[in-house]
Amino acid sequence: MEEDLSNTKEMSGKILDTIAQKKHAAMIERLSNLHQSRLQQSISRKSDSNGPSPFESTKSFLDRFSEAKRSIQNELDRCRQVSDPDSKARLKSELEKISVSISDLERLVSENSYYLPSYEVRSSLKTISELKESLDNVNSEVLPKKKFAFKNKATKKDQTSVAQGPDVRVSDKVVAEKSNFQIRESPGFRNREGGILVKHFKSSEEGDFTLSDLNSCEVRLTGVLRALFIHRLRNCRVFVGPVLGSILIEEVDRCLFMLASHQIRIHHARETDFYLRVRSRPIIEDSSSVRFAPYLLFYEGIEKDLNDSILDGETGNWANVDDFRWLRAIQSPNWSILPDDERVSTVNISNSETPSQSEEI
């Protein structure tokens, strides 16, 4: 009996020793993992500290931006002072070069806005708007009236719209001045209801395009364009290939947009879904109930168009929205991520045909 009791105690002791050893080994493993984690964090912090600080990056951008701004202003002043006929004959090409320089400056802001403070982004965009306005003024001052003959054609084209309602051109001008973008003279789709509007851009050299005063329309734009201006759309679905510069959206209600661009600004949007691929953070102002999801558009050749526009890689910025009217540290209540189960599937517009009545060029 005593021998059995002794054996039982010995066995219990071995079991307890085994359990204790396992607990000790587990504790050692946890401490080792914790040490490795802290060591990795320390290395990561040191690596980050060796890179450029946001201040240094911002200062570098501002220096470059200021230099480009001065150069453009000097060129504008030089063109404004031209008086002899021979020099005036060359002014058109000179002003076109200045326009390209302003577009390059706008692209510089787009590509660097992900680390710039919101104030610097707004200030830079305001400066670009002022440069565009100065360029328009110089065009009006130094070029002969006949250079703007196409304005008269546009006016005749819109006589029916003017007779039926407010002056579309004047209205567009007001929106452009308010939003710091110029849209009056760009081709586009305007004053349509219940139609399918299709256009293919052969190259980004075709310039800017405008969508204005559309109701219950579906818009399909394929190819690469330089800039897109969207104003006063209701109950529309808009599918657009890559945009090299900026997209400005103003006054949209209950719409769906699929857009790819270097910069996207949204003003006065309500109950609208945006499927985006964008190089910089999307900006919203005075908007509510807007939702965001990744870009889901397809058409034949879109991969090349995205690659040529430096928009082939997903940046994730569609989910990094800046609300310029919301200054608190917490999430803005004006926008949200579109739930997966409410998103549309990939939209294929490869077989779009262009209705002749939809063109407004």
pLDDT in tens, the chain (361 residues): 555 555 555 665 555 566 666 665 666 566 556 555 555 554 454 444 444 444 457 888 888 889 999 999 888 888 888 766 666 667 777 888 888 888 788 778 766 765 677 677 778 878 887 888 888 888 877 765 443 333 444 443 343 333 333 333 333 343 444 444 444 467 899 999 999 999 998 865 567 899 999 999 999 999 998 889 999 999 999 999 999 888 999 999 999 999 999 899 999 999 999 999 998 889 999 999 999 999 999 999 999 999 988 898 888 899 989 888 777 767 889 999 999 999 999 999 987 554 444 444 4
> Do 221 and 346 belong to one domain?
yes
pLDDT at position 96, please? 81
In a domain, 19, yes or no: no
The residues facing 260 across adjacent strands are 242, 277
> Do 104 and 172 belong to one domain?
no
pLDDT at position 165, please? 36
> Do 118 and 161 belong to one domain?
no
| Alpha carbon 130 to chain centroid, angstroms | 20
Q: Which DSSP string do the residues of 61-78 spell out, in sequence order?
A: HHHHHHHHHHHHHHHHHH
Query: Within the chain, how many helices (H) and strands (E) appear?
Result: 9, 13
247 in Cβ contact with 263 (< 8 Å):
yes
In a domain, 48, yes or no: no
Q: Percentages helix, strand, coil for the chain, rounded to the nearest 5?
A: 50, 25, 25
pLDDT at position 169, please? 34
**Count of domains observed in the chain:** 2
pLDDT at position 151, please? 41
> Do 213 and 330 belong to one domain?
yes
Query: Do β-strands 322-323 and 208-215 pair in parallel, antiparallel, or remain unpaired?
Result: unpaired
> Do 310 and 216 belong to one domain?
yes
257 in Cβ contact with 238 (< 8 Å):
yes
**DSSP-derived secondary structure letter, 264:** E
The pTM of this model reads: 0.52
Q: Which two tokens stand for residue 46?
A: 């040191």
pLDDT at position 152, please? 42
d(CA 148, CA 354): 29
234 in Cβ contact with 253 (< 8 Å):
yes
Q: Residues near 357 by Cβ (< 8 Å), separated by ≥ 6?
A: 195
d(CA 36, CA 347): 47
d(CA 259, CA 278): 8
| Of residues 246, 241, 223, 231, the one with CA closest to residue 132 | 246
Q: Which two tokens stand for residue 11?
A: 């066995």
pLDDT at position 336, please? 93
In a domain, 25, yes or no: no
pLDDT at position 294, please? 95
Query: Do β-strands 237-253 and 218-223 pair in parallel, antiparallel, or remain unpaired?
Result: parallel
pLDDT at position 338, please? 93
pLDDT at position 237, please? 97
Say whether 186 sits in a helix, a strand or coil: coil
> Do 112 and 181 belong to one domain?
no
Q: Which two tokens stand for residue 233?
A: 């759309």
pLDDT at position 192, please? 94
pLDDT at position 218, please? 96
Find the domain containing 103 and state its range.
Answer: 54-143
> Do 191 and 222 belong to one domain?
yes
CATH of the domain at 133: 1.20.58.1250
